[in-house]
A and B are shown apart, each in its own frame.
Chain A
Amino acid sequence: MLLFLLKRLLWTIPTLFGVSVLVFSMVHLVPGDPALVILGEHANKEALEALREQMGLNKPLLEQYLSYMDHILHGDLGISLVSGESVLEAFLQRFPATLELSLSALLIAIVIGLATGILAAIKRYSLFDNLSMGFALAGVSMPVFWLGLMLIYFFSVNLGWFPVFGRLNDAYYLDGPTGFYLIDSLIAGNLPAFWDALRHLVLPSIALATIPTAIIARMTRTSMLEVLQEDYVRTAQAKGCAPWRVVLIHTLRNALIPVTTVVGLMLAGLLAGSILTETTFSWPGVGRWMVNALNQRDFPIIQSSSLIVAVIFVGANLVVDILYACINPQIRLS
């Protein structure tokens, strides 16, 4: 197991190196002069030159890369060219918002996805099965920004159940230790703020959860159906086990192994991919920050945030692999 772990860890080094080269090159392959984009049409030669100098754009590419990596390895992710913020600080400031949203979405996806998948498998070819799998297909295919707008239109504007945008009403101020508004409001003993934060969280979480819910539901159903065919399930049934026991103990435990793998990777995906949801619901998280940086050609943010996302993905992959190896020793051996 130790050797497997070590090998797996060592593999992440070339992966991350590759990612760093890719991220660095991609930014430089994007056409246009970042200084001109930042200063806009009002720029003149003097201002452009000063900004290029400040951004280090006049130096050779290799020199820029080496200097960048040197800083990264020393824990310095750079300074935003546009706002002058430390990239790491800015990331950490926005990360709790994205994490809170992603975890809520994942929770919804797991609960609804699993329940739907299990029921659909048990009631195979029933109306529920057909309907739920139809919804799952629609969920996977639906553009998030469109779904988000529809949710806002019906549940916020027409019914008035939820706020249209943001994380918290202006009447509340939370500056808690975690950055998770649900937790910070509870720590502060501010129940109205907790309720308000929860109301803000509902629609974006649903929008973000739609695709993962659909994936989990379909995977659970398939996996359950496979396991339900196994001999040991038939044996259990023949032995006269209660139906719920057959499903929950004998079938689900085994059927969940591939689903667990997907869920692990899904969290990484949610963290990195909440861009559209954050933009639609004006959620001040990492996704929107990255899109803004891209529009403004804010090199240090683009490079470092992409690197952070890559690290999250590689890390999640690693954790999933290790967990999988723990669950299924055959993986280790192969």
Chain B
Amino acid sequence: MRTLTLFCLSCLCLWAKEGGTLIYARGADGSGMDPALVVDGESYAATCNIYETLVRFKYGSTEIEPALAGSWEISKNGLTYTFHLRHGVYFQTTRYWDQKSELTAKDVLFSFERQMGKVPYYKGAKSYGYWASMGMSSIIKKIEALDKYTVRFTLKHPEAPFLADLGMDFLSVLSADYAAHLKSLNKEDELTRKPIGTGPFKLATWFRDDKIVLLKNTDYWGPKAHLDRVVLRVIPNPSVRALALQRGEVSIISAPNRNEIPRLASLPGVAVDEKPGLFVTWMSLNLEKKPFDNRLVRLAINHAINTPDYVKIVYENYATPAINPMPPSMWGYNKDIKPYGYDLKVAKELLAKAGYANGFETTLFTASKYNKQAAEFVQAQLAKIGIKVKIEFFEWGTYLKKVAMGEHKMAFSGWKADTPDPDNFLYILWSKEAAAEIPTRNGSFYKSDVYSKLVTKAKYLSNQAKRTALYQKAQEVFHDDAPWVPLAYPYSIVARLKSVQGYQVSGVQINRFANVYFSK
């Protein structure tokens, strides 16, 4: 009898996790649903539930796990990657596509080759922006189908982050048959509005700027989603998002106003999750402009800015002070490096040693819609060691351009990980190669040979332990050279109804809803 009761209870518990509609409120709608075309995170919030990639990041972490490819082999020289696709994975059927087709190598080929430019798909010239910005054409040499379920990539050079790259949304696998069907109707553009993927949810409706309704894919190959429906609602005003959550009209809200968080957290049915995301913010010091070419000046500035205070004032403590050019949750992070430390005496001494005992005048670029408070904080802090900072505000577009062209002396910068690989921070932001590109991502124009050699070598190795050692060394060199002022590792913050369980805020692709359920 007891066993039966336990069995019934466990059935009830299992049953309790199933069903329900989750309403996720966010500030803006996505721009499209062809993962290869879009470059904004809001679009991927829908597509990462509909489409899948060959490998994926374990939910809430940066670890790579099998997805559409059940297994893979990497050749010893790191040049060929052979993926074995899972059998019995079918593309979704919806009201606009009712053919049940199995995922095979030809779908993978189509998905990659159109971005490589080998299979022209859209009528008009469309730019595969993410593919280009990740430099994929300079990594992949060719892709071939060895048989129905085996795909081989041959690279132009060894590229350790390649496996992580394959987990990114823009490399999602689309149905070649569906795409061909749309092409035959001369309606290729519908691919951006009516997606067909293999994921745990499929598209039901999309009312632009209003809502996207996703339905559970009951034919999903893996563990099926708990929720019946997910509605992605657009509520542009963060205060209204908070009020909607308070009323229980939505289940989760993204990016609440920081000053509203304590009130939200105090509401009985609401929980606030805050965790460091894969995000770093800093101040770039342009090494090509005087006096920032002088390491002592850069060190002085680092000692003169109180980063714990910065985090308290600018982020209202929803961040931790930054130390290294990548966040602590990323593998390869060097824990032994200590922050420069706030010390005005040391800062003044360093400045005097550099020949600027009376300080100097300089400018700080910032965007008018962000960072006003941050800029004023930096201005006040540096004034204490005699550095007079003139703040120059720019409209966002102008700001991006001016910094990317290197017109600044000091400027605020930030970077959110595309892929959970240290290369995504250490190489593409701070290498010599990044500094040589105009427009650049290396806002400090840091061109250390020693540093670049380390991060370039790490890029070509496939052994993670060896890569870790190289990245840790690179972080030491970087810390020593101080081409920047590390500021913060901001938190990812979401507020949710307490009944919403299983939602992870850290890691990449945080908007995957397959593991989310309601506790009754």
- Among the 9-residue stretches A41-49, A120-128, A130-138, A243-251, the one with 4 or more Cβ atoms under 8 Å from chain B is A41-49
Chain B hits for A165, CB < 8 A: 233, 235, 240, 244, 249
Residue in A32, A83, A173 whose CB lies within 8 Å of B32: A83
Contact with B along A155-185 (1 / 0, CB 8 A): 0110010011111001001000000000000
Q: Check A164 against B231 for contact (C-beta < 8 Å).
A: no
Contact with A along B191-211 (1 / 0, CB 8 A): 010000000000001011111
List A residues 30-82 near B (Cβ within 8 Å). Answer: 30-34, 36-48, 50-51, 53-54, 79, 82
Q: Check B400 against A37 for contact (C-beta < 8 Å).
A: yes
Q: Knowing A43-B133, A83-B192 touch, does A30 contact B127 (C-beta < 8 A)?
A: no
> From residue A198, how far is it (CB to closest CB) to chain B in Å?
17
Residue of B nearest to A160 (CB): B247
Q: Check A30 against B37 for contact (C-beta < 8 Å).
A: no
Bound complex: CA A170 to CA B211 (Å): 9
Q: Does A312 contact B (CB under 8 A)?
A: no
Q: Check B397 against A37 for contact (C-beta < 8 Å).
A: yes
Residue in B37, B213, B236 whose CB lies within 8 Å of A282: B236
Contact with A along B248-287 (1 / 0, CB 8 A): 0100000000000000000000000000000000000000
Chain A hits for B207, CB < 8 A: 284
> From residue A77, how far is it (CB to closest CB) to chain B in Å?
15
Q: Knowing A84-B37, A279-B237, A284-B207 touch, does A51 contact B395 (C-beta < 8 A)?
A: no
- Among the 9-residue stretches B357-365, B374-382, B434-442, B479-487, the one with 4 or more Cβ atoms under 8 Å from chain A is B434-442
Q: Check B189 against A84 for contact (C-beta < 8 Å).
A: yes
Q: Check B39 against A41 for contact (C-beta < 8 Å).
A: no
Q: Check A170 against B240 for contact (C-beta < 8 Å).
A: no
Q: Check A288 against B396 for contact (C-beta < 8 Å).
A: no
Residue in B39, B233, B398 whose CB lies within 8 Å of A31: B398
Residue in B126, B205, B236 whose CB lies within 8 Å of A54: B126
Q: Does A94 contact B (CB under 8 A)?
A: yes
Residue in A94, A282, A297 whose CB lies within 8 Å of B397: A297
Q: Does A153 contact B (CB under 8 A)?
A: yes
Q: Does A93 contact B (CB under 8 A)?
A: yes
Residue of A nearest to B131 (CB): A47
Contact with A along B205-243 (1 / 0, CB 8 A): 101111101000000000000000001011111011001
B-side interface residues, number (CB < 8 Å): 58
Q: Check A33 against B210 for contact (C-beta < 8 Å).
A: no
Residue of A nearest to B208 (CB): A93
Q: Check A166 against B439 for contact (C-beta < 8 Å).
A: no
Q: Check A32 against B441 for contact (C-beta < 8 Å).
A: no
Contact with A along B133-163 (1 / 0, CB 8 A): 1010100000000000000000000000000
Bound complex: CA A202 to CA B127 (Å): 43
Q: Does B450 contact A (CB under 8 A)?
A: no
Q: Check B398 against A32 for contact (C-beta < 8 Å).
A: yes
Residue in B132, B213, B404, B414 whose CB lies within 8 Å of A36: B404
Q: Does A281 contact B (CB under 8 A)?
A: yes
Residue in A90, A153, A170 whose CB lies within 8 Å of B213: A170
Chain B hits for A157, CB < 8 A: 243, 246-247
Residue of B nearest to A34 (CB): B397
> From residue B179, how far is it (CB to closest CB) to chain A in Å?
15
Q: Check B441 against A281 for contact (C-beta < 8 Å).
A: no
Dominant secondary structure at the A interface: helix
Q: Does B21 contact A (CB under 8 A)?
A: yes
Q: Check B397 against A39 for contact (C-beta < 8 Å).
A: no
Bound complex: CA A103 to CA B329 (Å): 53
Bound complex: CA A31 to CA B207 (Å): 32
Residue of A nearest to B434 (CB): A44
Residue of A nearest to B213 (CB): A170
Q: Check A94 against B209 for contact (C-beta < 8 Å).
A: yes
Bound complex: CA A36 to CA B405 (Å): 11
Q: Check B127 against A50 for contact (C-beta < 8 Å).
A: yes
List B residues 340-397 near A (Cβ within 8 Å). Answer: 394-397
Chain A hits for B404, CB < 8 A: 36, 41
Q: Knowing A32-B400, A292-B28 touch, does A44 contact B240 (C-beta < 8 A)?
A: no
Chain B hits for A51, CB < 8 A: 127, 129
Q: Does A289 contact B (CB under 8 A)?
A: yes
Chain A hits for B233, CB < 8 A: 165-166, 170, 282
Bound complex: CA A178 to CA B499 (Å): 38
> From residue B506, how far is it (CB to closest CB) to chain A in Å?
20
Bound complex: CA A296 to CA B208 (Å): 16
Bound complex: CA A84 to CA B192 (Å): 8
Chain A hits for B237, CB < 8 A: 145, 149, 279-280, 282
Q: Check A47 against B133 for contact (C-beta < 8 Å).
A: yes
Q: Check B235 against A79 for contact (C-beta < 8 Å).
A: no
Chain A hits for B208, CB < 8 A: 83, 85, 90, 93-94, 284, 289
Mind listing 10 A-B residue pairs with CB under 8 Å? Answer: A32-B399, A32-B401, A83-B192, A83-B208, A84-B192, A149-B239, A156-B243, A167-B210, A280-B237, A296-B31
Chain A positions within 8 Å of B, measured between CB atoms, are 30-34, 36-48, 50-51, 53-54, 79, 82-85, 90, 93-94, 145, 149, 152-153, 156-157, 160, 163-167, 170, 173, 279-282, 284, 288-289, 292, 296-297
4 closest cross-chain pairs (CB), A and B: A32-B397, A47-B132, A284-B210, A31-B398
Chain B positions within 8 Å of A, measured between CB atoms, are 21, 23, 28-29, 31-32, 37, 39-40, 124-127, 129-130, 132-133, 135, 137, 189, 192, 205, 207-211, 213, 231, 233-237, 239-240, 243-244, 246-247, 249, 394-401, 404, 413-415, 418, 437-439, 441
Given A32-B395, A84-B32, A282-B237; 17 other pairs, CB 8 A cutoff = A33-B397, A33-B401, A34-B397, A37-B400, A41-B415, A42-B130, A43-B439, A44-B132, A50-B127, A51-B129, A84-B189, A156-B243, A165-B233, A170-B23, A282-B210, A282-B235, A284-B208
